[in-house]
Chain A
Amino acid sequence: MAKHKTPLLDELESGPWPSFVSDVKQEAEVRAKNEKGVNYQIPVEVCEDLLGVLELSYNDGETHWKHGGIVGVFGYGGGVIGRYCDQPEMFPGVAHFHTVRVAQPTAKYYTTDFLRQIVDIWDMRGSGLTNMHGSTGDIVFLGTTTPQLEEIFYELTHDANVDLGGSGSNLRTPAACLGMSRCEYACYDAQGLCYDMTMEFQDELHRPAFPYKFKFKFDACPNSCVCALARSDFSVVGIWRDEIRIDQEAVAAYVGGEFAPNAGAHSGRDWGKFDIQKEVVELCPGKCIKYADGKLEINDKECMHCMHCINTMPRALMIGNDRGASILCGAKAPILDGPQLSSLLIPFIKVEEPYDEIKEVVENIWDWWMEEGKNRERLGETMRRMGFQKLLEVTNTKADPRHVQEPRHNPYIFWKADEVDGPWERDVNEYRKRHQR
């Protein structure tokens, strides 16, 4: 018998999609029965009280969590999101309901051994509820009490050999697409770079030292499966700079209907026979593909690396062999001065261990932003306030037409004093000798 009546939540148990309500109820039942004899360290009824407080919020249309919460583990300035219920007498099981961010393996490949190990820790010391995963990438342990934080941290680090993720004004947990592990479009080892950068900058991740949060994300090609361009201050996107490799026989197989376009992604509907002219050639944004006499040609100099042709005919068209990445900066959500996608900073950089060139770009940006960034100002906002030119200077990047979508249309152009003949300081009396008042 459930502790609280939840008629509104019960509605969410119907329908075909996996119901979070059914799952939480199942966990509540497992805890109540405790067939494994777990020595629960937080209230057994935590899951039931969570459903109870959620039902109350469904009724009121208001949240019932108090503002903020500052908890953590010694040595770190982040990693745990403190949370307290604003009805602790009614729902004592969630009076404390802190969230622990746990560092995930890049691209989220797991063994059941590892997952069982961390779940055992969480069953005993937490609510048994998780978020797999937070949007930044972390494994999220949802709901525990303050005294358990150090205990959880001890067991995670000593037994499971895994660290906390990031929170606060620091480097947040980096994430990558699954990259070369199982994608033929990967232009660099996104997982390798993600792991290496995460380890390199552990200090910046665990102890907030920045004006505001800062995120890395690593996409191995412009399809952007981890959404680096939209969701990271420092976005690394794989690219090639030689020719797209063409297998003419495979092209013929697509035209002949042996291979399904887009690897069959549109097979749920009859779009007619594959028309290479209409579906590939005419959709190319660079207008640099020709198909004549059964032969596909690409003028790679005009190719924008948009991935469309490769996505459509993956068995016939392959990324080039001279591979690397572009670095783009400044993506952020709307607060405070409007949303931004990342802007192209480094058009092409080789991605090779130990990734020193990429780290140098990061460190140059940090040196500048840590000094000049205002309190709670994202990199994208600092770029806007101080100018893209400044970012180029601090990263020793030469301005390039690729840095803009279009040139400025206003004439408010700043010059440096040493770029102009004569000094800025002029004597008005000299001027008056030639121009009467």
Chain B
Amino acid sequence: MAIVEFQGKSFDVDEDGFLLKFEEWCPEWVDFCKEGEGIKELNEEHQKVIDFLQDYYKKNGIAPMVRILSKVTGFKLKHIYELFPSGPGKGACKMAGLPKPTGCV
């Protein structure tokens, strides 16, 4: 486990660079992550995915299934990978501050 400092904020993260506490998320976190996730500049579509993941997580306590993410945002999985090259789990969930995906991955 480690603490990263960025633009005056500090974040508790694990080895994979996931936030340990969802409450520590702030817009600076997204700026901090984007390069490592292969994203140059964030656009509205990135934001739409991040916003939905956070809303869903706050409401349901889990990350949505990929199918639900696609349905609600209207983005096909292919497009989600264009937005987040490492995918909805490692890319988008990390940037949205959700806990690390678990299970047989």
* Residue ranges of A at the interface with B (Cβ–Cβ < 8 Å): 66-78, 81-82, 84, 96, 167-169, 203, 207-211, 213, 370-371, 375-376
Given contacts A68-B100, A167-B105, A207-B81, A74 and B86 within 8 Å (CB-CB)? yes
- Of the candidates A82, A208, A211, the one whose C-beta lies within 8 Å of that of B16 is A82
Closest 3 CB pairs of A and B: A77-B87, A74-B85, A70-B16
B78 CB to nearest chain A CB (Å): 8
Structural contact, A81 and B105, CB atoms closer than 8 A: yes
B99 CB to nearest chain A CB (Å): 10
Structural contact, A76 and B66, CB atoms closer than 8 A: no
Q: With contacts A70-B100, A370-B67 known, what are 20 further pairs, Cβ within 8 A?
A: A66-B15, A68-B100, A70-B101, A71-B16, A72-B86, A74-B38, A74-B85, A77-B87, A77-B90, A82-B15, A168-B89, A207-B78, A207-B81, A208-B66, A208-B87, A209-B67, A211-B67, A371-B67, A375-B65, A376-B103
Structural contact, B66 and A75, CB atoms closer than 8 A: no
Residue-wise interface mask of B (13-26) relative to A, using a CB-CB cutoff of 8 A (1 in contact, 0 not): 00110100000000
Chain B's closest residue to A66 (CB) is: B15
Chain A's closest residue to B17 (CB) is: A70
Given contacts A208-B66, A209-B66, A71 and B102 within 8 Å (CB-CB)? no
CA distance A81 to B103 in the complex (A): 11
Chain B residues lying within 8 Å of A376, measured Cβ to Cβ, are 103
Interface of A (DSSP majority class) = loop
Chain B residues lying within 8 Å of A76, measured Cβ to Cβ, are 86-87
Give 28 pairs: A residue, B residue, CB < 8 Å, sorted on A: A66-B15, A67-B102, A68-B101, A68-B102, A68-B105, A70-B18, A70-B100, A70-B101, A71-B90, A72-B90, A74-B85, A75-B81, A76-B86, A76-B87, A77-B89, A81-B105, A82-B15, A96-B15, A167-B104, A167-B105, A168-B89, A169-B66, A208-B66, A208-B89, A209-B66, A210-B66, A213-B104, A370-B67
Q: How many residues of B contact A (CB 8 A)?
A: 24
Q: Does B77 contact A (CB under 8 A)?
A: yes
B41 CB to nearest chain A CB (Å): 16
CA distance A375 to B60 in the complex (A): 13
Given contacts A68-B102, A72-B90, A74-B85, A207 and B77 within 8 Å (CB-CB)? yes
Chain A CB within 10 A, most for which of B66, B100, B101, B102: B66
CA distance A165 to B62 in the complex (A): 27
Chain A CB within 10 A, most for which of B18, B77, B87, B89: B87
Chain B residues lying within 8 Å of A71, measured Cβ to Cβ, are 16, 90
CA distance A73 to B87 in the complex (A): 9
Given contacts A78-B105, A375-B65, A69 and B87 within 8 Å (CB-CB)? no
CA distance A371 to B104 in the complex (A): 21
Chain A residues lying within 8 Å of B62, measured Cβ to Cβ, are 375
Q: Does B88 contact A (CB under 8 A)?
A: yes
CA distance A169 to B77 in the complex (A): 13
Residue-wise interface mask of B (55-80) relative to A, using a CB-CB cutoff of 8 A (1 in contact, 0 not): 00000001001110000000001100
Chain A residues lying within 8 Å of B78, measured Cβ to Cβ, are 203, 207
Chain A's closest residue to B68 (CB) is: A375
A206 CB to nearest chain B CB (Å): 9
Given contacts A68-B102, A370-B67, A375-B65, A209 and B86 within 8 Å (CB-CB)? no
Structural contact, B85 and A168, CB atoms closer than 8 A: no
Given contacts A84-B15, A167-B105, A70 and B90 within 8 Å (CB-CB)? yes
